[in-house]
Amino acid sequence: MAPDQLKNILITGAAGFIASHVTNRLIKNYPNYKIVALDKLDYCSSLKNLSPSLSAPNFKFIKADIASADLVNYLLVAEEIDTIMHFAAQTHVDNSFGNSFEFTNNNIYGTHVLLEACKITNRVRRFIHVSTDEVYGETNLETDIGNPEASQLLPTNPYSATKAGAEMLVMAYHRPFNDKRYFLDDQKLKRLGWEERTSWEEGLKRTMDCLPSDDNCFLHYKMRGEKEGNLDSSSCLKFLIYGKTDWIGGLLGKLCNEDGIEFEYGRARLENRSSIVEDVRRVRPSHVFNAAGVTGRPNVDWCETHKVETIRTNVVGTLTLADVCKEQGLIMVNFATGCIFEYDEKHPPGSGVGFKEDDKPNFTGSFYSKTKAMVEELLREYENVCTLRHDRARRAPTNLHRNGKEKFDRDMELHQSRSDKPQWILEMYRDHMDPEFKWVNFDLEEQAKVIVAPRSNNEMDSSKLKNEFPNLLGIKDSIIKYVFEPHKKN
């Protein structure tokens, strides 16, 4: 970004001695810049230092501590910060002899929080870190050449040591975060008679050979900086799941527990971008699953009268999550619905021709389906998103198998021919569960009188799943095995 495009500046420690002058000068000379001044107003600072700026329209003061990661993350996103000028610090050397932990907390940890926030939110283009000459330590009185930037850092008191520590962090975050080569002078070892027994190339080859072959696994292993050894593929996975209270979200957690896969449920509301970023920072997932969404209670008719709420979660929320995942290089598995299709000429009822992944949604009769169809169209542009469509017409808790994919296939099959489904399911219930069971049928016209929005009827193509799992039971056998039998009264 060119300097003239940098406009929204966060100045930390803005109520202190130096930063207040910088702030006042910027406000006066650059009315087109937005200045967000942050300071925790410690004993040594005063808002009065900023009085020339307080009434300026491009000035905002925030009383806060840079050590608060949530707040800093939020600020960077909410204020669209592109530049940080970081002055905030404990600065009085004498105090650092008595209360040195304060210096570590504010100067090192505080700087670290700012840097990490820049990394996570990935929007700050320029980070100006204000340090001190004291990091070089005492300079010989006889010397008449000053310390160049690359001089060795030799701090001599806790204040300058923490400023030097902060400099190291700034340097690390400025680099690609992963060095390709470390090279040490080993002449002293050689003089002691030590020789390498394994060449560098051979050692590297052996290390690579003992790592798991799965590329993703290796990448993730590196990313999480875990120690060598004892890695199986599940130890590389950590799922961040949205939709804890949702039926599918609950099942996902259960499957992870059974398969020993680490997971955590997301705490963020989907539409709250900075909270999602915070979830990702906290959990550091390998994959993100989205089973959250508004379906309406008691049914989708609710969405007809709560359109904005439906949009907020199903459209804004889902897209925000996909976008954050894209930004963070994460795969998102999105649980979508089959209710965006309706039998048509090419897919008539009973024909066995189901809707496929690439078919365009053709049912938007209910507002719920409309939002889902819209989002699917947009999600196609995100190559990091995998969409799994299913229908959860049957909610029996036992309609679950250890293998998630089998479950989806059954669900897809369950979706077939919804209009004739009730009849045969009721017959099956009578035959397997309760010979006395009786019911009264109603037709679609009668149904239409008690529901607000039309419902979709379709059949989805499940050939991909069947190819992968040829032993899958058909819909009726599945229902008998997974729904009726476990519930049979002895």
Ligand X SMILES: NC(=O)c1ccc[n+]([C@@H]2O[C@H](COP(=O)([O-])OP(=O)(O)OC[C@H]3O[C@@H](n4cnc5c(N)ncnc54)[C@H](O)[C@@H]3O)[C@@H](O)[C@H]2O)c1
Positions touching ligand X (CB under 6 A) are 12-13, 15-19, 39-42, 44-45, 65-67, 87-91, 106, 110, 130, 132, 163
Identity of the residue, 91 or 290, whose beta carbon is nearer to ligand X in the bound complex = 91
Q: How far is the CB of 19 from ligand X (least distance, A)?
A: 6
Q: How far is the CB of 129 from ligand X (least distance, A)?
A: 8
Identity of the residue, 114 or 248, whose beta carbon is nearer to ligand X in the bound complex = 114
* CA nearest to 407, candidates 456, 463, 447, 465: 465
Q: Quick one: 197 exposed, middle or buried, by C-beta within 10 A (0-12, 13-18, 19+)?
A: exposed
Residue of 159, 242, 265, 482 marked active site: 159
Distance CA(141)–CA(300), nearest Å, equals 80
Torsion of CA 306, 308, 313, 319, to 10 degrees: 150
Q: How far is the CB of 105 from ligand X (least distance, A)?
A: 7
Q: How far is the CB of 47 from ligand X (least distance, A)?
A: 10
Identity of the residue, 15 or 414, whose beta carbon is nearer to ligand X in the bound complex = 15
Q: Which long-range contacts (CB under 8 A, 24 or more apart) does 224-229 make?
A: 224/284
Closest residue to ligand X in the complex (CB): 16
Residue of 79, 102, 134, 359 marked active site: 134
Q: How many CA atoms lie within 13 A of 445 on its CB side?
A: 0
Neighbours of 54 (CB within 10 A): 13
Distance CA(66)–CA(60), nearest Å, equals 16
Active site residue 159: yes
Active site residue 134: yes
Identity of the residue, 63 or 224, whose beta carbon is nearer to ligand X in the bound complex = 63
Kind and range of the H or E run holding 187 = helix 187-191
Active site residue 136: no
Distance CA(40)–CA(56), nearest Å, equals 21
Q: How far is the CB of 482 from ligand X (least distance, A)?
A: 56
Distance CA(479)–CA(114), nearest Å, equals 54
Catalytic residues: 133-134, 159
